[in-house]
Amino acid sequence: MTSLQFVSYAEQMLAPTIPLFYLVPEDNIDWKPTENSFTCGQLMHHMAGSLRFNANGIGKNEWALPSIRHIFLANRREQSSTVEEAVALYKETSNEFFETFRQMSDEEFLGGIVNTPQFGPQEKWRHALFSVAHHLNHKTELFMYLKMMGVKVSSRELYGG
């Protein structure tokens, strides 16, 4: 997979994100399924913010948090966003994420190593795929939140189309 093929894949996989955000009822921004879960607003903010976190890490080897422990602690204090704030942040950070790989040579994408807080040294392509998987896991989590809140959603909202 080239860096531009990765961008095409990532754009397709992340495309349902904004429509899914718009399905979160504003009066349920603070809803969460369990005491230790993200609220809807925190989850949307986390999904958007993680793209910048990973773009900076993969592109520049600059990580805002130095270890998995720091990541877990930061997640406990995740900022919350309204739907409109989350959409605006997502547009900004997804653009940065995609642009990181548009500017990256295939040699760097396939052969470059980055020292990740989650896994230690790892190929850039591998952590790029992890970044998309991370987003998709949280997208599915938000989808299930919507179902639990009684919002009518189907595979169309989860996968797009």
Distance of alpha carbon 16 from the chain centroid: 12
Residues 6+ apart with CB under 8 A from 23: 146, 151, 153, 157
Q: Which amino acid is at 38?
A: F
Nearest to 64 by CA among 111, 100, 73, 39: 73
Phi then psi for residue 93, to 5 deg, are -75, -35
- Radius of gyration (C-alpha) of the chain in whole angstroms: 16
What residue ranges do the domains of the chain occupy? 3-159
User: In a 10 Å sphere around its CB, with 0-12 CB exposed, 13-18 middle and 19+ buried, how is residue 161 labelled?
Assistant: exposed
The string of pLDDT tens digits covering residues 65-108 is 888 898 988 888 889 999 999 999 999 999 999 999 999 999 99
The string of pLDDT tens digits covering residues 25-51 is 999 999 999 999 999 999 999 999 999
DSSP type of residue 113: E
- Asked: is 3-159 a CATH 1.20.120.450 domain? The reply is yes
